[in-house]
């Protein structure tokens, strides 16, 4: 079947949209481009995108780095509505903090519950 011409919707958790708005412009732009590529149907791999099975099957994280630091946005591809961008934060430690993973799970659930 190949590459579909249909652009998927990007659906943001409201709290996540607010967080991303506060990221530095360079990080915001890089994240925006990565999300747009996902919407166009590109499969992103490392170092830009990494699966996050600890959150949910089908969840992954976008990994953005600029001179102000490292930024992460969790997304989910298995929704019929489009790409769910359900959590974002500035990464300050090598390992993703458990609190961010828990919050990610909670926000993904909130977005998925809207589909019922």
Specify burial of residue 16 (Cβ count, 10 A radius: 0-12, 13-18, 19+). Answer: buried
Fold classification of 10-92 (topology level): YaeB-like fold (3.30.2310)
Residue 55 confidence (pLDDT) above 50: yes
Split at pLDDT 50, 70, 90, the class of 6 is: confident
| Helix, strand and coil in the chain, % to nearest 5 | 35, 30, 35
Quick: pLDDT tens for 22-50: 999 999 999 999 999 999 999 999 999 99
Q: What is the C-alpha separation between 111 and 41, in angstroms, rounded?
A: 21
pTM of the model: 0.91
């Amino acid at each position: 079947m190949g590459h579909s011409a249909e652009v998927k919707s990007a659906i943001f958790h409201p709290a996540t949209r607010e967080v991303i708005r506060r990221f530095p412009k360079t990080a915001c732009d890089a994240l925006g481009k990565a999300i747009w590529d996902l919407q166009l149907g590109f499969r992103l791999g490392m170092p830009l995108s990494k699966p996050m099975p600890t959150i949910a099957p089908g969840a992954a994280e976008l990994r953005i780095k600029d001179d102000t630091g490292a930024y992460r946005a969790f997304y989910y591809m298995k929704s019929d509505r489009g790409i769910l961008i359900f959590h974002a934060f500035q990464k300050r430690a090598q390992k993703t903090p458990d609190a961010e993973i828990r919050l990610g799970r909670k926000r993904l659930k909130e977005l998925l519950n809207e589909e019922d």
